[in-house]
Structure 1
Amino acid sequence: MNVRILPLDPDLQVAQALPCFAGEPFLLLLDSAARHRQRDARYSFLTAAPRAVCRLDAVRHGDQPFTQLRHWQRLLSALSLPASAPPFCGGIAGLLSYELGQAFEKLPSPTVNDTSTPALLAGLFDWAIVWDHLQRTVQACILELPEDSTLTPPVDDRLAWIMTRLQQPAALNTAAADSVTVRQPSGRLHQIEPTSQIYSDFTRDEYLQTVARVIEYIRAGDIFQANLSQRLLTPWSGSAVDLYQRVRRQNPAPFCGLLQYKDTAIISASPERFLKVSGNGLVETRPIKGTRRRHNSPIADLFAGNELSASEKDRSENVMIVDLLRNDISRACAAGSVQVTGLCEIERFETVLHLVSTVVGQLQSGRDVWDLLSGCFPGGSITGAPKIRAMEIIAELERSVRGAYCGSLFAYGPGGDFDSSILIRTFTLQAGWLYFPVGGGIVADSDPLDEYRETLHKASGMIRSLRTT
C-alpha cells in the first residue's frame, strides 16, 4: 500500500489543529462544519506544505489550465490504497477562481481587477489530517508518491513533521497587521451603514438601477436569469486563521474552507456543493436557488420555509438552473445517465433557508473530472441562463472582478474521488482588506429592492462574524 494511516486522538478538534499549521505558505482546510447534516458534511481535511504548486495568474480563451493537474493525476493513479482509505488522504487540492471560466468560453474581461487572486491555484499534497464526523475518528494520512517523482520526503519524515506540529503550542499566525502592505481598493467606496466601516462598490440606488437593467435584458429576450452581485469590503488587520475560527463558530456550513497562500487568504462558509465525482465516476451537483432569512421563532421559521417552497418565482429560478446544469454535466456524462433526484427541497442553514436541487449522472468512458469541470465551470447557479449571455451581462454590469467569489475550492484524492464547493458566503483577505461579494438571481418578476435586501440578508452572518470574538 502507498498510504500510511495513523489514528489520532478522536477528541482532536479542527479548531485545535488548524493554528498548528498557520505559518505554512500554503495551508488548506476543507471543513464540513455543519456536522448535523451528514449527507454533505461527513469529512473535514487539513493539509499544508504541498510538494508542488500550480499557479495560473490569468487565462485566455483556449488555454488548457488543467494540464499540470492531469500530470499529477497520473502520479496518483499509480498508488495502491486500502478500501478503507478516506476520499482525500493527500492529492490535488486548491482554488478555481471565477475568472478561470475565460479559458473555456470567450468572455469579456471584468472592468476592474484590483486583486491578485490567481485564476487557478493548486497543490500536490502528500498528507492530510482527516476527520470522519460520522465514524468519529481522526487520522493522519501520508501518501508515498512514486519513487521517481522526487516530490516527497520519506513517509516517516513527513509523519514526524506532522506530529511535531500538532504537539507544539497552537499559536495563531497574527503577523498580519505589521507585515502586510495595505493597498487601497480601486473605484469609489460607499458605506452600507452610516456607522460602519463596511463598504460596497454600489450605492443602494445604483444597485437597484442595475437590477432593473438586468430585468430589461430579460424582457428583451437576452436571458431568462442572471446572478448579479455587489462587492462588500472592509479593512481587516487580523489573521486569516482567527477570522476563519470566528466564521466557523458563527455560520457553520457543510462546505466551510480556508485557503492561505502567501498574501492571499480565502475564508468560506459555503452551503453549496458544486461538483462531486466518486471513484466509480458517479457525478453529483446540488445547486441552490431561492433564499429566505431564518427566524428565532420556530413557527415563523416554518412559515418562511413554507412560503419559500410555494414561491413560483424561486421555484422557477431553481428549475432554470437545474436545466442548465443538466445540460452542462451531460457534456461529460454518458447518454441517458443524467437525472434529477431532488427538486426544490427546503434546507435550513444557520442564517438562511434555501431551495436545493440534486442532479446526478455517470461520467462517460474516457472522460475525467477535468473534462467535466471544463464543461461546467463556473457553476450555473451563480451565472444565469443562458449561461454565456448571462456571464457577458455580469461582466458588463458588475463593477469589480469576482476572483474567488463564485469560484470553487476543490480536492481530488488518489482513488479518483473529487468534491468541490461554490464559493459563496466567502471572504478574500488581501492587502489589509476583506472582500465579500453577495448576490442573487434576477428573473423577470424580481423586485429590485427585495433583491438588494436579499444580498444584505446573505451577508448578515458574515458581518456578525467580524463583530464577534
Structure 2
Amino acid sequence: MSATGETVVVLDRPWTDPVRVAAGLGGGDGALVLLSDGGPGGRWSHVATGPDRVHAGAVEATAAFAALRDPAFGPGTVGLAAYDAGARPATGPRAPIWPDLMLARYPAMLSFDHQTRTVRAIGRGRTTAQAEAAARRAAGWLARAATPAAPAAPAETFAAEAGDDAYRAAVADVVARIAAGELFQANVARAWGGRLRPGADPFDAFLRLQQGRASPFGAYWRIGARALVSNSPELFLAFQAATGRIEARPIKGTRPRAADPAEDAARAADLLASAKDRAENLMIVDLMRNDLARVSQPGSVRVEALFAIERHPTVHHLVSTVTARAAAGVGPADLLEATFPPGSITGAPKHQAMKVIAAHEPPRGPWCGSLFLIEEDGGLTASVLIRTAAFEMDGDGGWRFRTLAGAGIVADSDPAAELAETDAKIAAIRQALAG
C-alpha cells in the first residue's frame, strides 16, 4: 500500500532495452519515455502509455504547482512546468504559448534500472486486483519491443526566428546592463522553428536523437496535440522523500567537442581553466544555494562538487553539485515552487534576470522549464528542459515545432562567441530534426 492509499504491485522482469520497448509502443497520444543514457547522472529509464488522469492549463503565479498537491497526482505522475509560469511574477502577464503546467498520472509503468539491468513493471490501483492488472499490462509491453527504425530527418523546414545580428545585439545590450549594475548575469536565448514533413512525427526526432546522442535526461512525451522531445543533460532537482536529501546539478560553461582526441581534451582543459566560465558557474551555484535554503533545514546546504567537467556527444559542460536536507513537511510541490524556474537558465539576481530575458525574448514555453517524475516514495526527479523541442499539431494534422538555445551572458561576454555557443548547443536537435 502506498502513502496515498493505493495498492502498488511490482513485477520483476529481465532486462529489455527501453528504446526498443518505446519503439514497440510508438509515439501516440499518452506515450511517455523518460530515457537515461545509463551513466552516473541517470540510472533509471521509464516507459508508459495510457494515463488515467490529465491536467493541462494555466496556473496562478502565487501557487504555480497547486495542482501537484492534489493526491490524485501522486507517484507515477509526470509533469511539465513551462518556463513562463515561473517567470511571470517578474515579467508580468504575457500570452502563454504552452500550458503552464501539464500533469499526467500513469497507473502502469515500466522502470528500467541500468545499473542492475533489470526491469520493474509497476501497477497502481484502488484494489489489489486493479494494481495487479496494471502491472501485468505494463509487463506485456516488453513483448512488443522492436528494433527502432532509422527514420529520415522529419523537418521540412528549420529556420531561425531572427538573424544572427539580433542575437549579437541582445548580448551586447545585456553586457551594457551588467556594466550599469542592473544585474550580474542573464541567460539569453535564440529560437528556431519549422514544420515536419507530411506524415512525419515528433517521435521520429526522438528516435534519431538516440542514435549516438543519448543523454542522462532524454524524453519523449505526447499529450493530445502537443509533444515534447528532449535531449537534456541537466538535472534540475532530485529529492529523496525518505531521507530528505535534495540535489541540484546546475550547468554553466560549454565547449563544443572535437573529432581529434588531443583537440577535444584541449577544449575540455580550456573550459576548466576559463575564469569567465568558472565565475558564471559560481554565480548560479550561489543562486541555487539561496533557492534551496528556502525549503531546507538551516545549515544543511552544501556544495559537494564545483566545476566538474562532463562530456556529452556534442559538447563539454562545466557542472557543479549543490545538496541540502529538506525541512520537515516539504514535498515536491514546495520544492519546485521555491526554486522554479531553474537558476542556470535565468541568471542572477534571478528576478531581474527574468525581466531582462523578457525584454529580448517572446515567451519560451516548455524550453528551460522542467519535466519531472513523482516517484514511488513521493520523491522527485526533475530535468532542465534544455536541448528540447516543443511540437504542436496543426488543424490539418501536421506538426510544427519550436526549439531554443541560450548562453549565460556576463560582464566580459563576447557577442560572437556567445552566438557560436548557441550553435554548438543546438547541434544535436538540429541534426535530429533537419539532418
Q: In the alignment, is residue 155 of structure 1 matched against residue 131 of structure 2?
A: yes
1:362 Cα deviation after fit: 0.5
1:308–1:355 contact (8 Å) kept in structure 2: yes
1:155, distance to aligned residue in structure 2 (A) = 2.5
- Alignment match of 2:86 (pick from 101, 109, 112): 101
Which TM-score applies when normalising by structure 1? 0.84
Partner of 1:26: 30
What are the equivalent positions in structure 2 for 1:47-62 lying under 5 Å apart? 47-56=48-57, 58-62=58-62
Of 201, 204, 211, 1:239 maps to 201
Q: Secondary structure at the match of 2:210?
A: helix
Amino acid across the alignment from 2:61: H
Which of 427, 431, 435 is matched with 1:460 structurally?
A: 427
Matched-pair identity in %: 35
Amino acid at match of 1:255: F
- Which residue matches 1:190? none
CA RMSD for the aligned pairs?
A: 2.3
Secondary structure, counterpart of 1:218 in structure 2: helix
Q: What residue identity is the alignment partner of 2:182?
A: D
2:223 to 261, 275, 279: 261
The residue type paired with residue 120 of structure 2 is: Q
Cα deviation, 1:257-290, whole Å, max 9, x if unaligned, reads 1111111111000000001101221000000000
Alpha-carbon distance, 1:169 to partner = 7.7
C-alpha distance in structure 1 between counterparts of 2:167 and 2:219, whole Å = 29
Kindly tell me: are residues 379 and 153 of structure 1, through their superposed partners in 2, closer, same or farther at Cα, counting changes over 3 Å?
farther
Q: Distance in 2 between matches of 1:281 and 1:467?
A: 43
Matched to 1:40, the amino acid is G
Secondary structure at the counterpart of residue 424 of structure 2? helix
Q: 1:270, 1:425 within 8 Å by CA — same for their partners in 2?
A: yes
Q: Which amino acid aligns with 2:80?
A: L
Is 2:89 aligned against 1:125? no
What one-letter code is carried by the residue in structure 2 that aligns with 1:225?
Q
Cα deviation, 1:368-409, whole Å, max 9, x if unaligned, reads: 2211111110000000000000001111111x3211100011
Give yes or no for contact 2:123–2:133 (8 Å, CA) kept in 1.
no
Is the CA contact 2:65–2:336 (under 8 Å) kept in the aligned structure 1?
Answer: no
CA distance in 1, matches of 2:159, 2:28: 31
Q: CA deviation at 1:19?
A: 3.1
In structure 1, runs of 5+ residues without a counterpart are: 77-89, 174-181, 183-195
Cα separation, 1, equivalents of 2:309 and 2:229:
26
**Per-residue deviation, residues 189-224 of structure 1 (Å, max 9, x unmatched):** xxxxxxx94211221111111111111111111100
- Determine helix, strand or coil for the equivalent of 1:292: strand
| CA distance in structure 1 between the partners assigned to 2:290 and 2:144 by the alignment | 50
**Alignment partners' CA distance in 1, 2:222 and 2:255:** 31
Structure 1 position 304 matched with structure 2 position 288:
no
Instruction: Give distance in 2, aligned partners of 1:270 and 1:53.
Output: 24
Correspondence for 2:396: none
The residue type paired with residue 124 of structure 1 is: R
Query: Match of 2:338, as an amino acid?
Result: G
Structure 2 residue aligned with 1:179: none
Give me the whole-angstrom Cα distance separating, in 2, the residues matched to 1:109 and 1:231.
Answer: 21
Contact 2:108 2:137 in 1 (8 A): no
- 1:135 pairs with 2:116: yes
Secondary structure at 2:178's aligned position in 1? helix
1:434 Cα deviation after fit: 2.0
Is there any run of 5+ residues in structure 2 with no aligned partner, and where?
2-6, 150-154, 394-398
* 1:43 and 2:44 are equivalent in the alignment: yes
Partner of 2:292: 329
**C-alpha distance 8-320 of structure 1, shift in aligned 2 (>3 A):** same
- 2:380 maps to 1:421: no
Map of 1:17 onto structure 2? 21
TM-score after normalising by structure 2: 0.90
Aligned to 1:71: 70
The DSSP-based 3-state class of the residue aligned with 1:359 is strand
1:369 equivalent in alignment to 2:368: no
User: What SS does structure 2 have at the residue aligned with 1:68?
Assistant: helix
SS at match of 1:26: coil
Cα deviation, residue 24, structure 1 = 4.6
